Amino acid sequence: MCLLYLSHWPSEAADHPISKQRKIAERVLPPAFKELLRATKEPFVQAIMDLACPQLVFNRTIPMGDASFVIRPHTAASTSKGIANAFALVSERAGRQELRESLEHWQRAKRHCKEKEL
């Protein structure tokens, strides 16, 4: 399965990058955002990365949407991507007799399409 560690607890964030970001924010953010930042004692840091699973079919489990591919720009489109994946899989399944054949073809097609986007 695809696992990717993406975030740090506030206590794990290094002080230097946080203080540097606070200085930059004081220069560039609008007043309302500066106030929010000043009120935040322990900022939360989360990396945003691309993710591509090397395998998309695990027996009877198929990760869909952001669970299978997360590619920039990250626009919170996981539900839409999941629905599109499900429709594509149903369409693939309708044209084939064997479930295994459908899943293998769907996985190859999806990986090929997404690898071009990376």
**Structural domain contains residue 1:** no
**Structural domain contains residue 15:** yes
User: Hey, what are 18's tokens?
Assistant: 């946080």
One domain, residues 61 and 106: yes
* pLDDT: which is higher, 116 or 56: 56
| Cβ atoms of residues 104 and 57 within 8 Å | yes
Host domain of residue 13: 7-46
Query: What is the pLDDT, as a whole number, of residue 75?
Result: 64
Closest CA to 52 of 65, 68, 73: 68
Residue 110: CB atoms within 10 Å: 21
> What's the number of domains the chain is made of?
2
One domain, residues 55 and 112: yes
One domain, residues 40 and 67: no
| pLDDT at 27 exceeding the cut of 90 | yes
Query: What is the pLDDT, as a whole number, of residue 1?
Result: 36
pTM above threshold 0.85: no
Q: How many helices (H) and strands (E) does the chain have?
A: 4, 4
